[in-house]
Amino acid sequence: MNRKAQAAKAETPKQTDMLLRQFIGYNMKRAYLQVQEDMARTLEPLGLRVGTFSALAVIMGSPGISQTQLSEVLNIKRSGVVVVVDDLERAGAVERKPVRTDRRAYALHVTQEGSQLWKRAEAAVQAHEAALFTDLEAPEQRALQELLVRAARSAKHTREAGK
């Protein structure tokens, strides 16, 4: 690094994004991107991406769920679910079982192997978040959780009302 660059780095980092910090959306994006990137790195050794991790969690919690239902929970389209489930099935973590009452649909189930994978992944992400948010006390983390949930709900409300 040359002198000019060093000097620039050394300067008190003038808050050049002052005009943006007033917005919740901006701060949310910054925080989200930080967390998301690390999450991906945490899951990679387990052969999971954030999307497949989430899908695995939902199928764990709702055995027999259909792909359409899964798409609603995850807020993605049915066509997007296909590749996610393909991925999990290829990894041997979930299987598509036929539904007796509807030959179009599949009932998604987590395999033994998938169940163990989930346990490892859950523990990994828990440990990861604990490390990531060491600067926040436990009650603060809970407060953040609750505010995020309520913010999402409020936003959803407003949008659906003003539709």
Query: Which residues contact its own copies by CB under 8 A?
Result: 8, 14-36, 38-39, 50, 54, 57-58, 60-62, 65, 69, 73, 75, 122, 125-126, 129, 131-136, 140-141, 143-145, 147-159, 162
Long-range contacts of 104-108 (CB under 8 A, 24+ apart): 105/66, 105/67, 105/68, 106/66, 106/67, 107/63, 107/64, 107/65, 107/66, 108/59, 108/63, 108/64, 108/65, 108/66, 108/67, 108/70
Vertex 78 angle, CA 154 and 105, to 5°: 120
Chain positions 1 to 20 lying near DNA, rule: CB under 7 A, are: 1-5
Q: What is the per-residue binding string for DNA in 83-122, x denoting contact by CB under 7 A?
A: -xxx---------x----xxxxxx----------------
Q: Which is nearer to DNA, 97 or 142 (CB)?
A: 97
Q: Which is nearer to DNA, 16 or 134 (CB)?
A: 16
State the burial class of residue 7 (Cβ atoms within 10 Å of its Cβ: 0-12, 13-18, 19+). exposed
> Interface with DNA includes 67 (CB under 7 A)?
yes
Give residues in contact with DNA (CB under 7 A).
1-5, 40, 49-51, 66-68, 75-82, 84-86, 96, 101-106
